[in-house]
Structure 1
Amino acid sequence: MQGFQLSFFTRQDHKHAGLPLAEWLLQEARRLGLGGATLIAASEGFGHHGKLHSVHFVELADQPQEVTLAVSAADAERFFARLAEEGIKVFYVKTPIEFGITGAG
């Protein structure tokens, strides 16, 4: 199947609707019936301002997080429309891909 890989980059302390934004993205993808999403927690990274974000022993608030989805073009449009409805501002990468499942099943 042809579609897109959507990758959203945020931090543990970015919230929406009372949840960390990464968790909200994951739940919203599920609510919309998308095929799957993965939340990846990173140890460190930096954003467009050049500020280093990293996991601290006592505090996880600054921890970088990535949510990745492989979706059809129609599902990508629906997901971005939902983000617009919610007024969410988040950095993303949208890459054309081919995806599917191997083997008999």
Structure 2
Amino acid sequence: MKGFQITFFTQQDRKHAGKQLAEWLLQFAQAHGTRGATILAGSESFGRDSHFHSAHFFELADQPIEVTMAVDEQTADTLFDALTKEGVSVFYVKTAVEFGSIGTPES
């Protein structure tokens, strides 16, 4: 199947609608037709403001977080339209990809 890999980049302490932004994005994507997504925690990053973000032993609030998904074009359009209406502010990368599954699903 042809579509897009979409990765949102945020930090552990960012919130939207009272929830951690990464968790909110995961649930929002599912509610808008995305069939799978993954949250990944990073150890260090820097953003457009050149400020470094990192996971510290005692403080994880600034830990970099990625939310990644592969979707078809229609789902991508639906998702971005809904995110725009929601007023979310988040950096993303959207890359054209081919994706699919091999074998039978695990039970």
CA contact (8 A) 2:3 2:72 kept: yes
Q: In the alignment, what sits opposite 1:67?
A: 67
Distance in 2, matches of 1:5 and 1:68, equals 7
Q: In the alignment, what sits opposite 1:79?
A: 79
Identity rate of aligned residues, in percent?
Answer: 57
CA RMSD of aligned residues (A): 1.1
Q: Secondary structure at the match of 1:94?
A: strand
Q: In the alignment, what sits opposite 1:18?
A: 18
Q: Quick one: which amino acid aligns to residue 83 of structure 1?
A: L
CA contact (8 A) 2:33 2:75 kept: no
Stretches of 4+ aligned residues off by more than 6 angstroms: none
Q: TM-score, normalised by structure 2?
A: 0.93
Query: CA, structure 1 residues 48+103, in 2 after alignment: closer, same or farther (shift >3 Å)?
Result: same
Structure 1, unpaired ranges of 5+: none
Q: TM-score, normalised by structure 1?
A: 0.95
Q: Secondary structure at the match of 2:33?
A: coil
Deviation, 1:31, is: 1.7
Q: In the alignment, what sits opposite 2:54?
A: 54
Q: How many residue pairs get matched?
A: 105
